[in-house]
Amino acid sequence: MEKQLVPVQEEGKSAELFSERKMNNEAEAALIFSYARDRLLNPACWVELAGELGTNFMQTDRDGNTIDRPVSMGDYIRIDIPGPGPVAGHGYDWVTVTRIEQQKSNSRHEESTGMQLMVSNDPLEAGDDAAHFFEKGATSTFILNRKDTLVTASYFGRNEVVNNATERVSDNIRNTMVGAGAILGLSELQWKSLLEGFLSDLK
Per-residue DSSP letter, 171: H
Domain ranges, ordered by start, for the chain: 2-198
Beta bridge mates, 117: 97, 140
**Interatomic CA distance for residues 105 and 107, integer angstroms:** 5
pLDDT along the chain (203 residues), means of 10: 92 96 97 97 92 84 94 96 91 97 92 98 90 97 98 98 94 93 78 95 71
- pTM for the model stands at 0.94
The rounded distance, in Å, linking the Cα atoms of 33 and 174 is: 37
82 Cα distance to chain centroid: 17
pLDDT of 185 reads 66
* Yes or no: domain 2-198 corresponds to CATH 3.30.530: yes
3 state DSSP class of 114:
strand
Listed in sequence order, the DSSP H helices in the chain are 2-5, 26-40, 46-49, 169-183, 186-198
